[in-house]
């Protein structure tokens, strides 16, 4: 499963989640069998990413997430998690919040 999230820098699992309008990069996390297999970082707009992703994780449900809804991409909120490592742990244990329209 590929999970996309806005981040502030490139620092592996310690990379901090960032608000969409403030992010410098996008992190694509490949999760297989409950473990992170790979993290790829992208600069620029998320629309330029060619790789398929199943879900987006954002810092706040108040972020600019409408484009994801328009593309029928599920959005999860990670209000208490700060790093990719914390977000992935919360994702595995289903502790993230589903953002609904």
Write the pLDDT tens digit of every residue in 52-72: 999 999 999 999 999 999 999
* CATH number for position 15: 3.30.420.130
Task: Provide the pairing of β-strand 35-43 with 75-77.
Answer: unpaired
Whole-angstrom Cα distance, residue 31 to residue 77? 18
pTM: 0.94
- Could you list the residue range(s) of the whole structural domain that residue 26 is in? 2-98
Domain count, the chain: 1
- ∠ CA 91-56-29 to the nearest 5 degrees? 65
Whole-angstrom Cα distance, residue 16 to residue 10? 9
- pLDDT over 90 (residue 27): yes
Q: Dihedral (C-alpha) 24, 99, 96, 16: value to the nearest 10 degrees?
A: 10
Which of the four pLDDT bands, split at 50, 70 and 90, describes residue 44?
Answer: confident
Q: How high is the pLDDT of residue 29?
A: 98
């Amino acid at each position: 499963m590929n999970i996309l999230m806005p981040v502030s820098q490139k620092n592996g699992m310690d990379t901090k989640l960032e608000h969409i309008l403030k992010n410098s990069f996008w992190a694509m996390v490949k999760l297989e069998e409950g473990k992170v297999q790979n993290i790829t970082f992208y600069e620029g707009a998320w629309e330029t990413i060619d790789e398929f992703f199943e879900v987006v994780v954002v810092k706040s449900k108040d972020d600019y997430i409408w484009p994801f809804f328009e593309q029928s991409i599920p959005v999860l909120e990670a209000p208490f998690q700060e790093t990719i490592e914390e977000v992935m742990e919360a994702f595995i244990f289903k502790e993230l919040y589903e953002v609904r329209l």
